[in-house]
């Protein structure tokens, strides 16, 4: 009798252990069965440099994805537009931010891309990016674009789309990298926070950065260092809009920076979200859906940028035939894709 009871007790303990451990690959040990399942544990997101407008966007994205996918670890990889496209191509990141103009060149094998990238697909256009050319207000030697040719210019991340668009814009003024060098000027690259610090200590004379519409790194320094934003001439904007660069005209709104009482004409690009073509269709469908169905979180945390997140402009600057199938599936369900 005693032996029988002992055997039953031992068997019961063994069953509890087996059930607790699980026996199939689909078991969600220690997980939340209400959450989505990602095809892998890590999600690398290509973003912009610290101090850029893209960084806070991808920070919110990372939080949303980790909150909704079971056991997912989302991390941000600092880069720039063209750098993110190349990182997608080699598989260093899964999704990334870039400009629609650079994306168009990448899939066509044009511009800075010698070969077509068939490894990248569109997810959505997100927001216009106002290209800001700033100097310290006390620098009375720089009052117009033509004055920057012999100066030290900070251009953002080394492989960023901002620098590419900048040189295309400067070509309308007859300025290029060679003419800057010949005039005694210099160029430097880095993240926006570093560039803003370099502007403050006079290590550089001119700061280039993209914002929607303001640049966070510039806002961080303007409390003690008054800034002046250099305008782009209307006739130059008209000319560049005629060219197939994906560059448009815009105006940085008044009060974007302290003491900026009037809007300033500038050129704009469009930022977008891109994914690897081989990323699982259902995964990209869920990533896309979670982005658009959590706009309230973006509006709460980054209202200035989220104001531009609208389904009306999802395809701005994008050939819809290049959408990732997962993103396309979501837009078809929502009646957006025609």
Give the pLDDT confidence of 216-265 residue by residue, as tens digits: 899 999 989 999 999 999 999 999 988 878 788 899 999 999 999 999 99
Q: Under the phi-then-psi rule, with left for phi > 0, alpha for psi from -120 to 50, and beta for the rest, what region is 275?
A: beta
The answer to whether the CB of 55 falls within 8 A of the CB of 84 is no
Between the alpha carbon of residue 275 and those of residues 67, 268, 289, the distances in Å are 20, 23, 14
**DSSP letter string, 54-81:** HHHHHHHHHHHHHHHBTT-EEEEEE--H
Within the chain, all domains assigned CATH 3.40.190.10 are found at 42-127+271-333, 129-270
Main-chain phi, psi angles of 293, to 5 degrees: -90, 5
Place of tokens 């199939």: 24
CATH number of 129-270: 3.40.190.10
Q: 42-127+271-333 belongs to which CATH class?
A: alpha beta
Main-chain phi, psi angles of 301, to 5 degrees: -95, -35
The pairing of beta strand 206-211 with beta strand 152-154: parallel
The pairing of beta strand 227-229 with beta strand 120-136: antiparallel
pLDDT of residue 112: 86
Q: Confidence class of residue 6 from pLDDT cuts 50, 70 and 90? A: very low
3-state helix, strand, coil in the chain (%, to 5): 40, 20, 40
Task: Choose among 216, 210, 196: nearest CA to 154.
Answer: 196
Beta bridge partners of 186: 152
pLDDT of residue 137: 96
| Residue 85 pLDDT exceeds 80 | yes
pLDDT of residue 31: 59
Q: Under the phi-then-psi rule, with left for phi > 0, alpha for psi from -120 to 50, and beta for the rest, what region is 317?
A: left
Mean pLDDT (the chain) is 89
DSSP 284: H
pLDDT of residue 3: 42
Q: Confidence class of residue 21 from pLDDT cuts 50, 70 and 90? A: very low
Q: Under the phi-then-psi rule, with left for phi > 0, alpha for psi from -120 to 50, and beta for the rest, what region is 293?
A: alpha
The answer to whether the CB of 77 falls within 8 A of the CB of 44 is yes
| Residue 109 pLDDT exceeds 90 | yes
Task: Choose among 188, 185, 181: nearest CA to 158.
Answer: 188
Distance CA 200, CA 253 (A): 23
The pairing of beta strand 152-154 with beta strand 186-188: parallel
Beta bridge partners of 276: 120
> Which carries the bigger pLDDT value, residue 9 or residue 279?
279
pLDDT, tens digit, for every residue of 301-331?
Answer: 999 888 889 988 899 888 899 999 999 999 9
Beta-strand ranges (E) seen in the chain are: 42-47, 73-78, 95-99, 120-136, 152-154, 186-188, 206-211, 227-229, 248-252, 264-276
Indicate the pTM of the whole model: 0.76
Structure tokens at 107: 């899939």
């Amino acid at each position: 009798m005693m032996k029988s009871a002992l055997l039953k007790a031992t068997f019961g303990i063994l069953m509890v252990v087996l059930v607790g451990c699980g026996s199939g690959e689909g078991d969600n040990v220690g997980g939340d069965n209400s959450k989505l399942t990602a095809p892998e544990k890590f999600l690398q997101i290509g973003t912009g440099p610290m101090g850029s407008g893209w960084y806070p966007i991808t920070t919110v994205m990372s939080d949303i994805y980790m909150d909704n996918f079971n056991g997912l670890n989302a991390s941000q990889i600092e880069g720039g537009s063209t750098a993110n496209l190349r990182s997608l191509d080699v598989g260093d990141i899964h999704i990334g931010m870039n400009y629609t103009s650079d994306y168009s060149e990448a899939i066509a094998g044009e511009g800075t891309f010698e070969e077509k990238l068939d490894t990248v697909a569109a997810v959505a256009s997100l927001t216009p990016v106002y290209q800001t050319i700033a100097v310290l207000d006390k620098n009375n030697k720089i009052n117009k674009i033509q004055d920057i040719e012999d100066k030290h210019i900070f251009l953002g991340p080394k492989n960023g789309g901002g620098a590419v668009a900048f040189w295309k814009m400067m070509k309308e003024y007859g300025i290029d990298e060679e003419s800057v060098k010949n005039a005694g000027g210099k160029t430097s690259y880095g993240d926006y926070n570093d560039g803003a610090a370099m502007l403050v200590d006079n290590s550089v004379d001119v700061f280039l950065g993209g914002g929607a519409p303001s640049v966070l790194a510039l806002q961080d320094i303007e409390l003690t260092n008054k800034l002046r934003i250099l305008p782009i001439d209307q006739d130059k904007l008209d000319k560049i809009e005629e060219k197939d660069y994906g560059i448009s005209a815009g105006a940085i709104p008044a009060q974007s920076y302290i003491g900026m009482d009037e809007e300033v004409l500038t050129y704009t690009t469009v930022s977008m979200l891109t994914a690897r073509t081989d990323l699982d269709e259902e995964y990209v469908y869920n990533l896309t859906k979670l982005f658009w169905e959590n706009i309230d979180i973006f509006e709460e945390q980054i209202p200035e940028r989220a104001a531009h997140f609208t389904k009306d402009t999802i395809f701005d600057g994008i050939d819809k035939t290049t959408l990732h199938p997962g993103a396309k599936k979501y837009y078809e369900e929502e009646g957006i894709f025609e």
